[in-house]
Amino acid sequence: METRAPFVVVGAFVLAAIAAVFGFVYWLHNTGGLGPRATYHLQFDGSVPGLMVGAAVLFNGIRVGEVIDLGLAPDNPRRVNAAISVAATTPVRSDTKVGLEFQGLTGVPVIALEGGAQLANAGTVPTLIAEPGAGQGMTQAAREALRRVDSVLAENSEPLKDTIANFKIFSEGLARNTGKLDGIVAGLERLTGGGTPAAPKTAYDLRAAQGFAAPTKVLKGQLAIPEPTAVVMLETQRFLFSPAKEISGFAEATWADTIPKLLQARLIESFENYDIAHAPLRAADIGQNDFQLLIDVRRFRIALDSDPVVDIALSARILDKEGRVVASRLFEERERLDKVEPAAAASAFSDAFGRLAKNMVAWTVQTL
């Protein structure tokens, strides 16, 4: 019995020493140091999930103390009262902001103090009131945000349905006009110098009337042919169709000039082929003229109603120098097309125009 006593005493001493060391470390960790302390009272309006006695107190992110007391407010069960012990040098003011932060992956709650602009000698610091929602955790905040989003969606369900329906109509319109949109984008690329360069277009010309017999009668006076008038649709270099449609192969085909200017040039050339010495000139090339041959383009197209034909119609009026109408006539010609392609169409237009121009030259010479 006497030999066992020293071992019991030694064991008890070792256990007491270990407990003292752990106690000292725990006390040092929770108090944050050995210096003087100051106690402040806090109040939270709402829950403080996970906050416990001993939780850290941070000031501007630096640990300055710990929570020493927690309890429900007796006058209002929704409120939570807390007491904290911090280093006496911590600049806590009456306007210091109080909040609850969650640190680490596990979300350990700590009390966070921040700022304060009041003077140091402003008096005893009253109970610090935490900001509204300071004790709200991330999960609770997410639930509250989702609840508000759900409320907004419920209140605006009809406008949202209308917006979605409009998007559907818009997307269907885009799907129906994909080809046109591709064409617009391609045109913009060519306009800005980007994209693949457009393939060069093939220009086609009209043949003037030829094969006139020796003139037995010449034009009297100076005749001028101004540029023919036409509706906007005819002020183009494209091949026109009736009914209007896009025909394969004609996208890369154009006339050598706009239709009115091309007709003016080939009509003057036709008169020159009849009698170059007395041929008319453009109105801009002469000062005073004796007569004018005014042309209005009625039709210059490919008709696709039954058998494809080239259809040309020109209205002609001869005016004297006083502007009086001397004579007027409508000239029409048609030429059947064996194949609807640019080269065949240009040849048919030339044949029809040649006959029309011969008739117009003969009528003009006979009138004057």
Q: Are strands 62-72 and 56-59 parallel, antiparallel or unpaired?
A: antiparallel
Report pLDDT digits (tens) over 258-313: 999 999 999 999 998 988 888 888 876 666 788 899 999 999 999 988 889 999 99
DSSP secondary structure letter of residue 197: P
Average pLDDT over residues 114-140: 69
Contact (CB, 8 A) for 367 and 222 = no
The burial of 280, by beta-carbon neighbours within 10 Å (0-12 exposed, 13-18 middle, 19 or more buried), is given as buried
Tokens for 198, please give them: 């457009």
Instruction: Please report, as a single letter, which amino acid is at residue 126.
Output: P
Q: Where are the beta strands (DSSP E) in the chain?
A: 37-45, 56-59, 62-72, 79-87, 97-103, 108-114, 128-129, 202-204, 223-225, 241-242, 253-255, 281-282, 291-303, 309-320, 325-336
Q: How confident is the model at residue 107 (pLDDT cuts 50, 70, 90)?
A: confident
pLDDT for 142: 65
What percent of the chain lies above the pLDDT cut of 90?
Answer: 26
Of 368, 92, 357, nearest to 206 by C-alpha is: 357
pLDDT(2) > 60:
no
* Predicted TM-score of the model (pTM): 0.49
59: which strand partners?
Answer: 62, 113
Of 336, 272, 247, 327, nearest to 294 by C-alpha is: 327
11 compared with 298, residue with greater pLDDT: 298
User: Angle 359-266-229 (CA atoms, 0-180°, nearest 5)?
Assistant: 85
Q: Tell me the Ramachandran region of residue 300: left when phi exceeds 0, alpha when psi lies from -120 to 50, beta otherwise.
A: beta
pLDDT for 311: 94
For the chain, the straight-line distance linking the first and the last C-alpha, in angstroms and rounded, comes to 160
Helices H / strands E in the chain, number of each: 6, 15
Q: What is the Cα–Cα distance from 68 to 53, expressed in whole angstroms?
A: 5
Q: How confident is the model at residue 342 (pLDDT cuts 50, 70, 90)?
A: very high
Contact (CB, 8 A) for 259 and 233 = no
pLDDT for 119: 60
Report pLDDT digits (tens) over 30-78: 555 556 888 888 888 888 888 888 889 999 888 888 999 988 888 888 8
Report pLDDT digits (tens) over 79-89: 888 998 888 88
Report pLDDT digits (tens) over 169-195: 888 887 777 777 777 877 777 677 655
Mean pLDDT (the chain) is 83
333: which strand partners?
Answer: 312
Instruction: Please report, as a single letter, which amino acid is at residue 247.
Output: I
DSSP secondary structure letter of residue 335: E
Report pLDDT digits (tens) over 209-234: 888 888 888 888 888 899 999 998 99
Q: How confident is the model at residue 1 (pLDDT cuts 50, 70, 90)?
A: very low
Contact (CB, 8 A) for 182 and 196 = no
pLDDT for 349: 94
pLDDT for 146: 77
What percent of the chain lies above the pLDDT cut of 70?
Answer: 85
pLDDT for 238: 92
